[in-house]
Amino acid sequence: MIRWSHDSEFARLLDSNPAYPKTESMLDQWFEESQKASDAFTLAIHLLDGDGLLGFVETSGIEWTN
């Protein structure tokens, strides 16, 4: 994901906040915080024939009462 965060097009399309390269520790912190969220899920998409990360999906703003 470090390589992706340094890709300006990926960073720009990732969310609506201004894009800037992120360090490995920043990405680690983001992932740890996303695991604690009670209204969101972050899922990794891996290759079938290896452990390479193909992408990820984040769903947030889940309203459990609906």
pLDDT tens, 10-33?
877 877 888 778 888 988 898 888
> The tokens of 55 are what?
């992408």
Q: Which residue has the higher pLDDT, 64 or 11?
A: 64
Strand partners, 53: 46
Where do runs of H (alpha helix) occur along the chain? 2-5, 8-14, 24-36
* Mean pLDDT over each residue of the chain, to the nearest integer: 84
Residue 53 near residue 1, CB atoms below 8 Å: yes
Domain boundaries, the chain: 2-60
Evaluate if pTM is beyond 0.85: no
3-state class of 35 per DSSP? Answer: helix
